[in-house]
Structure 1
Amino acid sequence: MSGTIKRWVSAAWLIGLLLISLPASAQIEIIDQAGRTVRLAQPAQRIFFAEPGDFTIMAMLEENPARRIVAWNRWRLDKHTLAHWRSIDPVAFDKIKQLVIDGPQNLNAEMLIANQPDLVVLDRFFGAAKQTISRLEQAGIPVAVLNLEADLRERNPTEGLEKMAILIGREQRGREVAEFIDRHVARITQRVATLKNQQTALPKVLMEPHAGIGPCCMSVGSGVLMGDLILMAGGKLLGSDIVEGLSAQLSAEYVIASDPDIYIGTGGRHIEARGGLLLGPDVDPAASLASLQRVTQRVGIAQTSAARNQRTYGIWHSGYPIVNLELIATWLHPELFGDVDPAATLAEINQRFMAKPLTGTFWITPHPTPKAH
């Protein structure tokens, strides 16, 4: 064998060893939020989502989210929100298997397998379905436990969103969304930290979930995202010391005696028929304002400082957490956050990240407090 041939064979042998030792370039791998390794041979194209709000996050990461979704749990979503997401691509949307699953106990593995997903995404609530996860993985279907909606209370609030972006081959977009959210969160939390260090008295806030569907007053508990936004924005959450779980009923007498400085009701179209606080896609501002007035005229709220001083507000239960945090911060501390404009934040989200922005009424500020100049 000539020297040239020997060198060629040797080089080919070395190249072969290098190729064997390198990982497959198409393989995608993450550690999900349950500490499990998730591997895909290529970016996911046929996804099942267990959390209804994950469609919104996908619409921030992907121009046409419907094309990547084979099945979806649309539980609790109103027809107006569904119509909006359908309008992006009606043909692709109508191909999605629309499921209604109210909890992990009803997450059926065989039903999911029949839709042939190449990735099943469960939030932590549905991640409790251990047997279903095991059955799916036995069938060769990867399962990722990820909370896609940014949990602003966490050290890394956008972890789930960023990992999802990797799984669909949109890592750069995921980083852009994460950076935007982190920057806006820091603006609020850094100022609130200074406020607390100064031992400034914090306002008492009554936050009523699904406001107006019953007598005064339900209250969210601490440890629940909407309630914890009050704490992050520099407020005291009324009833947090006695409310266990997601929410609980407070008596009108307790509310009057506690005398909250600020009232914030959460609402949506899902409680419209029950006389609740009306907010959400395609809601007329006048109708929304009228619903807030009905809600705050109930016995218990009407007798508080919040009502007397016209510091009563409404917020869409399904809004972007960062916009909700900014809204609450400006309501609680208008002078401290005089330069924060939640409407501008929402407009930037819509312009930079959303394929088709939601339109409607997502908060009510009937008596805006003048901002410092």
Structure 2
Amino acid sequence: MRAAGVILKPWWRAAWLWCLLLVSLPAAAQIEIVDQAGRTVRLAEPARRIIFSEPGDFTMLAMLDENPARRIVAWNRWRLDQHTLNQWRSIDPEAFDRITQMSLDGPQNLNAEALIAHAPDLVVLDHFFGSAKQAVSQLEQAGIPVAILTLEANLRLRHPTEGIEKLAVLIGREERGKEVGAFIRERLDRVARRVARIKAEGGPLPTVLMEPHAGSGPCCMSMGEGRSMGDLVVLAGGRLIGSEIVDGMAGQLSAEYVIASDPAVYIGTGGQHMKARGGLLLGPDVDAATSRASLERVLRRVGLAQTRAVKEKRAHGIWHSGFSIVNLELIATWLHPAEFQDVDPAATLAEIDRRFMAKSLTGTFWTSLAPAKD
């Protein structure tokens, strides 16, 4: 007599064993963040084919990954000069040359179909480009995750390194992201504490003219308050002239207004793109003598030459694409040299290079008419 039971045919037995195996396996880990626009972004695995909309995002990825070019399939290189590109290319020329070098000057140029053609597994959009809602919708309908993140540390925010730390999660480098974040916040807190003490003690807040793309025209363009380098002046304990009349990130001041305001400190921003216009030269492959000579030329313009900032040699230049924490330290030392005499922005940049960068940029990234004095 045959014992009672269930007799499984061979193919049923195989299926049954496969189901048991699936049940016993742990569920595949899913990477998930909430981006800076409040949207949930999910990846099945760390991103390896990324598209960036912001020119500076390559630099920020380089703080997280020793070979950023290997993770990027397309990148907005708009406004970046060839000298900067050449230095980043030197990390891995073969991988860099495979990257599609886009030139997008705004969300109106964001073509979803062109991005989809690169088969990315993640598209990272700065808040500015994130306003292209139709393109974002098309990308997500195509199954491509989109993260709205500003990777450069926004020192005005409560969580200034949120963007780069969230990207670190998406590429499987969460611990590195936390390390970068802690490094930046520690130095930001040091500046904030000292500026708070200066204000509490009633110390003077020097007036500052910060001119973007310095020397590109008559005196003088001025930074406004908002999402711009002008806010670093405020964070460093200065008063930004022109901010009461400049609507937006930057605006034109008359030479008469500058002379009447008589700023105590002048800070111009510049880069290699200013060479053809006779402006302030800073950045990769610029030597110190050339940079200083360009600052002197910029300061000879009518309006600036009459200010005490120039007369007292408290005039400086800063690379517009530098690390924001280094720029903040520079500005703080220029505005309050006594209170920040132990702060060394060059040492901060050297530590960034040593701890986080596979390749450090070489060149001149700031210059001064003379050493700052009280």
Which category describes the TM-score, using the shorter chain as reference length?
over 0.9
Q: Which amino acid aligns with 1:82?
A: L
Structure 1 residues 8-87: aligned runs within 5 Å? 24-25=28-29, 27-87=30-90
Q: What residue number does 2:250 align with?
A: 247
> Amino acid of the residue matched to residue 149 of structure 1?
E
CA contact (8 A) 1:192 1:234 kept: yes
Which of the two has higher C-alpha Rg? 2
Distance in 1 of aligned mates of 2:300 and 2:105 = 33
Task: Give distance in 2, aligned partners of 1:208 and 1:165.
Answer: 34
Which letter does structure 2 place at the counterpart of 1:41?
A
1:178-227 Cα deviation digits (max 9, x unpaired): 00000000010001011111222210000000000101000000113310
Alignment partner of 2:90: what SS? helix
Question: What's 1:230 paired with?
Answer: 233
Cα distance in 1 for partners of 2:372, 2:83 equals 31
Give the share of equivalent positions with the same residue, in percent.
Answer: 69
1:122 is aligned, of 121, 125, 128, to 125
1:344: how far off? 0.3
Distance in 1 separating the partners of 2:37 and 2:191: 29
Distance 1:167 1:18 in 2: 27
Question: Is residue 64–residue 355 contact of structure 1 (8 Å, CA) maintained in 2?
Answer: yes
Secondary structure, in 3 states, of the residue corresponding to 2:316? Answer: strand
Asked whether the equivalents of residues 151 and 225 of structure 1 are also in contact (C-alpha less than 8 Å), the reply is no
Whole-angstrom CA distance in 2 between matches of 1:17 and 1:168: 27
8 A contact 2:228–2:249 mirrored in 1 = no
Asked whether the 8 Å contact 1:313–1:366 carries over to 2, the reply is yes
TM-score normalized by the length of structure 1: 0.93
Distance of 1:356 and 1:17 partners within structure 2: 45
Query: How far off its partner does 1:16 sit?
Result: 8.8
For 2:356 and 2:122, locate their aligned partners in 1 and report how far apart those are by CA, in whole Å.
23
Query: Separation in 2 of the partners of 1:23 and 1:208?
Result: 55
CA distance in 1, matches of 2:102, 2:231: 30
The question of whether the paired residues in 1 share the 8 Å contact of 2:296 and 2:369 is answered with no
Q: Displacement of 1:23 after TM fit?
A: 5.0
Distance 1:356 1:254 in 2: 43
2:329 corresponds in structure 1 to: 326
User: 1:363 is matched with which residue?
Assistant: 366
Distance 1:336 1:59 in 2: 33
Aligned residue identity for 2:268? G
- For residues 215-249 of structure 1, what are the alpha-carbon distances to aligned partners after superposition, in whole Å with 9 as ceiling and x for unaligned? 10000001133101000000000011000011111
What is the TM-score with the length of structure 2 in the denominator? 0.93
**Other-structure match for 1:277:** 280
1:47/1:118 contact within 8 Å kept: yes
Opposite residue 205 of structure 2, the aligned amino acid is: L
Give the match's secondary structure for 1:61: coil
Q: Secondary structure at the match of 2:32?
A: strand
1:24 partner letter:
A
1:336 is matched with 339
1:221 aligns with 2:221: no
What code does the residue aligned with 2:33 have? Answer: I
Give yes or no for the alignment of 1:262 onto 2:275.
Answer: no
Structure 2: segments with no counterpart, 5+ residues: 4-16
State how far apart, in whole Å, the 1-side matches of 2:103 and 2:330 are.
32
User: Which of 125, 132, 152 matches 1:149?
Assistant: 152
How far apart are the structure 1 equivalents of 2:22 and 2:52?
41
Give the whole-Å Cα distance in 2 for the aligned partners of 1:326 and 1:298. Answer: 28
> For structure 1, which runs of at least 5 residues remain unmatched after alignment?
2-11
Measure the CA separation in 1 of the matches of 2:27 and 2:155: 35
Q: Distance in 1 between matches of 2:244 and 2:227?
A: 13
What is the alpha-carbon distance in structure 2 between the residues aligned to residue 230 and residue 60 of structure 1? Answer: 25
Aligned to 1:160: 163
Give distance in 1, aligned partners of 2:368 and 2:311.
15
Q: What is the deviation of 1:18?
A: 8.4
Query: In the alignment, which of 152, 169, 173 is matched to residue 170 of structure 1?
Result: 173
2:13 — aligned with what? none
Match of 1:354 among 357, 362, 367: 357
Conserved 8 A contact 1:266-1:314: yes
Counterpart check, 1:317 vs 2:317: no
Aligned residues: 357
Provide the C-alpha distance between the structure 2 equivalents of 1:331 and 1:19, rounded to a whole number of angstroms. Answer: 63
Q: SS of the counterpart of 2:229?
A: helix
Report how far residue 366 of structure 1 moved. Answer: 2.9
How has the CA–CA distance of structure 1 residues 370 and 260 changed in structure 2, closer, same or farther, with 3 Å as cutoff?
Answer: closer
